[in-house]
Chain A
Amino acid sequence: MNKKLDLFKNISLWPVVIYSFVLILLPLLYILFLSFCETDYVGGINYHFSIVNYLTIIDSTYLLIFAKSALIGIITTLICLVIAYPFAIFLMDKKEEVRNALIKLVMIPFLTNSLIRTYGWIVLLRKNGIINNGLTSLNIIKEPLSLMYNNIGIIIGMVYTLLPFMILPVYAAVNKLDPNLIKAAKDLGANKFHVFKDIIFKETISGAFNGSLMVFIPAIGYFFISDILGGGKQMIIGNLIKDQFLTARNWPFGSAISIFLIIVTFLLVRVYKKIGGNIDELGGM
């Protein structure tokens, strides 16, 4: 190997290594360290070893928040799956230009700040918002629906914000599928439902799981959606962590919940591996 090239390789790698070390690994280690400290209840930290933060997590109030977050996350994930698959299958036999154009449309929202887009939903969802006014003036409903400041609002916001993260991996997986497999299944007597369940879904399960992780994890953490569309009173894990750091100023407890969330993520990947998933297809997580 050329020595100059080796040198260049080493130098060009350093920025990434430094970036990952300073901005990802160090803060994470700091969070891990903090999670084993104690709060002094006035915003400071007592630096002595303790597992009290982790014991607090098991408290029923917090468990309830976790359970609710998980439920919102699961519902969001399922809705995204239900929307992403028909879309990906619809694109399968389309021309490449059509496919590319529609996938670009999916990605366009990324160009705008998601906070602003979430505020945009208020105009649509509030009591005298566009949806409610539209439906009442068409006499479809008499009373305006409660579409925000509740769980429905949070789920609508989550699905809207996170849907691209489901569509892209699902589309990538479905697009890679050999069309002959579907033809073969039809040829062997499978109806549309079986073609989807036994062939398309099973062959693209890694894409579905990948998308599900990318939707589920943010869905339990995106506090701003819960703040804006849930009216701040609907707590999810994301709000809880944010509040510990910014409002309650209990950094050790906030750190402990963060570490807990990371562990849950790793467990989910383990589960995927257990049920026979290919880790490489998740991008080497």
Chain B
Amino acid sequence: MKRVLVELKNLSKKFGKEHVIKDLNLDIYEGEFLTLLGPSGCGKTTILRMISGLEKVTSGKVIIDGKDVTDIVPAKREVNTIFQNFALFPHMTVWDNIDFGLKMHKVPRTEADKRIKDAINLVKLKGFENRKPDELSGGQQQRVAIARGIVLNHKVLLLDESLASLDLKLKREMQIELKKIQKQLGITFIYVTHDQDEALTMSDRIAIINNGTVEQIDTPENIYRKPHTKFVADFIGEANILTGKITKVSENEAVVSLPDNMDLTIDNKNYQVGEEKTVVIRPECFDISSIESLDSFKGVVKEYIYDGMITKLIVQKDNTELRINLMDASSFKEGSDVYLKVPKKYIIVLGDKNE
């Protein structure tokens, strides 16, 4: 069993009358890359600031490495933050920026010099030691910020939308590199972002935050494949979300009847006939054909959108629009009839317990 390093217990935060974080509980393991993902204004940055101590806690507890740090100032907490705009000290060189924390912690000179050198090598900034931040590119500034954050050998690094200001290509590179650095150091990264690509690429676990609470916390794959709530299904990736009723139940299978005569066969998990169910179907999970087959239902291609790697189809089934993504959609033109099927292993039924 992994050891819990950061523990948030019944954490609440109010700004005036606004209840930003509501009774939040979260365990973060040693050495994991955890992402707090949510729409802007969901409170994810506030959670991060309460861990670092830069924001006071209204009620509840923050426990780091077994120690209650709720009332301890940021300087005394064994965590470091990488800010969205990096917050490098403009009047200091790269070396002095990285050295700042070591000086504040009175680390002996020879030891400090060695640690700075190691950090600079790790983030590949050799030769830039004497530059000032404004003489560096965005990516290089990011690296300085990482080096400054890890040089104190604290067990937790907090990253506040740290890649948001980089351009797309650089962002992709830094995502992979950040993950590499995290693995190499074996420390806990808590990363805040509203960018789901980033979250899926880098994280060991993702906590989806909505309205100040954790909607779901799981591995990226489970978050995508087994969302627990409508919000999670909708927020991560594209999804067709449909609500219908269970109309038939047999020993192993059940049929859920969705609006517009779409009947889908699903695994029976103690469903009752008449029970209302919401199902989620990812756009890439459809079997699509121009020939009718058993159990398939008919739709009409309404829109055909070429998007490089995939082609997006919007298929009209009576009053319902279905989003379908295909690798090769050359045989389906706008206006043509198509027959759809969904393999039951790809149908996500929300509200299922014991997943």
Contacts and interface: CB of A to CB of B under 8 A. Distances in A.
Interface residues of B, number: 23
Given A186-B73, A186-B74, A186-B75, A181 B87 contact: yes
B39 interface: no
B148 A178 contact: no
A187 B89 contact: no
A178 B104 contact: no
B54 A187 contact: yes
Interface in A159-196: 178, 180-181, 183-191, 194
B81 A183 contact: yes
A191 B106 CA distance: 12
A33 B104 CA distance: 56
B152 interface: yes
B75 A187 contact: yes
Contacts of A198: 89, 100
Contacts, number: 58
Interface residues of A, number: 17
B193 interface: no
A180 B100 contact: no
* Most chain B beta-carbon contacts within 10 A, residue among A180, A187, A202: A187
A158 B152 CA distance: 47
A183 B87 contact: yes
A191 B75 contact: yes
A203 B76 CA distance: 24
Contact of B100 (A183, A185, A191): A185
Nearest to A188: B101
Nearest to A203: B91
B83 interface: yes
B100 A203 contact: no
A188 B91 contact: no
Interface in B147-182: 148, 152
B52 interface: yes
B214 to A, nearest CB: 24
Contacts of A202: 91
A180 to B, nearest CB: 4
A184 B87 contact: yes
Nearest to A186: B74
B83 A184 contact: yes
Interface of A is mostly: helix
Nearest to A183: B54
A202 B93 CA distance: 13
Interface string A86-126: 00000000000000000000000000000000000000000
Contacts of B100: 185, 188, 190, 198
Interface in B84-129: 84-85, 87-91, 100-101, 104-105
A203 B90 contact: yes
A199 interface: yes
A59 B308 CA distance: 86
B83 A180 contact: yes
Contacts of A191: 75, 104
B45 to A, nearest CB: 12
A203 to B, nearest CB: 6
* Most chain B beta-carbon contacts within 10 A, residue among A178, A183, A188, A198: A188
A205 B340 CA distance: 70
Contacts of A185: 89, 100
B81 A189 contact: no
B70 interface: no
* Most chain A beta-carbon contacts within 10 A, residue among B76, B79, B87: B87
Given A183-B54, A188-B80, A190-B104, A199 B75 contact: no
A188 B87 contact: no
A187 B152 CA distance: 11
Given A186-B74, A189-B105, A198-B89, 18 more contacts: A178-B87, A180-B83, A180-B84, A180-B85, A181-B87, A181-B89, A183-B54, A183-B74, A183-B81, A184-B88, A186-B73, A187-B52, A187-B75, A188-B101, A189-B76, A189-B152, A194-B104, A202-B91
22 contacts: A178-B85, A181-B90, A183-B83, A184-B87, A184-B89, A185-B100, A186-B73, A186-B74, A186-B75, A187-B54, A187-B74, A187-B81, A188-B75, A188-B104, A188-B148, A189-B101, A190-B75, A191-B75, A198-B89, A198-B100, A199-B89, A202-B91
Interface of B: 52, 54, 73-76, 79-81, 83-85, 87-91, 100-101, 104-105, 148, 152
Q: Which 9 A-B pairs have the closest CB atoms?
A: A188-B101, A189-B104, A180-B87, A184-B87, A186-B74, A189-B75, A180-B83, A187-B81, A190-B104
